[in-house]
């Protein structure tokens, strides 16, 4: 049973100071050596900020969640250590519980305690796999992400041999969770990533 005091304590953590983007960036680069994983985290950050903007939410908060969602993956790749070890690191630094809970919610093994029951958590799950897939699609095009269309991404989704590690079911479930069509969801993520094309090294090849 959760006492009123415990509820108040959790509320205080949710309402407390939120991590700044520069601090999140430093933490990410402390724990992640892989350029590909850093790029993935930046891509998810871009999509999270895009969705925060169109939903009137806190772009900085949503962006930090996207940037840090996999920061512990290199050191703790196996479930349930992945996300839980990261959560422990974040909590030790006094990071806002809203951020920690959202990151925990994107892993299925944490859903009992951290369900995808609010827009921030739903959106992180929805954009995670799709951003990885879009980047994979862009990297095989001379134009990279510039001019990429949702229908071309959907065609690639049907080619199960392409980016085979990407969970197609999660991509579809993510759009459903947001209550929008898969095509619209892909378009939103394409626009978000195109805005950060240079940072993501997804500009056209010379």
For residue 19, pLDDT beyond 60: yes
Report residue 12's pLDDT band, with 50, 70 and 90 as the boundaries: very low
11 pLDDT more than 90: no
Dihedral sign, Cα of residue 106, residue 107, residue 113, residue 115 = positive
Q: In order of start, what are the domains of the chain with their CATH numbers?
A: 12-195 (1.10.3210)
As a whole number, the mean pLDDT across the chain is: 92
CB 71 within 8 A of CB 41: yes
47, 56 contact by CB (below 8 A): no
At 66, the pLDDT band (50, 70, 90 cuts) reads very high
Omega before 85 within 30 of 0, i.e. cis: no
Q: What is the pLDDT of residue 205?
A: 81
**Tens digits of residue pLDDT in 87-125:** 999 999 999 999 999 999 999 999 999 999 999 999 999
Burial of 123 (0-12, 13-18, 19+ CB in 10 A): buried
Model confidence at 49, pLDDT cuts 50, 70, 90, reads very high
As to burial, measured by CB atoms within 10 angstroms (0-12 exposed, 13-18 middle, 19+ buried), residue 28 is buried
Instruction: Report the candidate in 105, 98, 63 with the shortest Cα–Cα distance to residue 84.
Output: 105
Q: Over 80: is that where the pLDDT of 8 sits? A: no
Q: Are 193 and 202 in contact (CB under 8 A)?
A: yes
pLDDT at site 119: 98
Cis previous bond, 76, omega within 30: no
Decide if 78 contacts 96 (C-beta within 8 A): no
Cβ–Cβ under 8 Å, residues 48 and 123: yes
Q: 4 pLDDT band (50/70/90 cuts)?
A: very low
- pLDDT at residue 7 greater than cutoff 60: no
Which pLDDT band holds residue 18 (cuts at 50, 70, 90)? Answer: confident
Q: Nearest CA to 178 among 111, 135, 128?
A: 128
């Amino acid at each position: 049973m959760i006492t009123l005091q415990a509820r108040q304590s959790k509320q205080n953590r949710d309402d407390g100071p939120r991590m700044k983007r520069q601090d999140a960036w430093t933490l990410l680069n402390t724990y992640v050596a892989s350029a590909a994983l850093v790029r993935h985290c930046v891509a998810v950050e871009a999509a999270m900020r895009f969705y925060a903007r169109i939903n009137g939410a806190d772009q900085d908060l949503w962006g930090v969640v996207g940037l840090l969602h996999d920061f512990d993956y290199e050191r703790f790749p196996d479930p349930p250590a992945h996300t839980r070890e990261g959560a422990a690191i974040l909590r030790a630094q006094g990071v806002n519980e809203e951020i920690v809970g959202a990151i925990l919610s994107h892993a299925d093994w944490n859903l009992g305690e951290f369900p995808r029951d609010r827009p921030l958590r739903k959106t992180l799950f929805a954009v995670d796999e799709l951003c990885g897939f879009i980047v994979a699609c862009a990297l095989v095009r001379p134009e990279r992400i510039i001019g990429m269309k949702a229908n071309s991404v959907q065609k690639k989704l049907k080619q199960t041999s392409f980016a085979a590690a990407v969970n197609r079911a999660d991509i579809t479930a993510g759009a459903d969770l947001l209550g929008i069509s898969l095509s619209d969801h892909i378009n939103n993520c394409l626009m978000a990533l195109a805005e950060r094309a240079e940072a993501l090294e997804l500009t056209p090849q010379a």
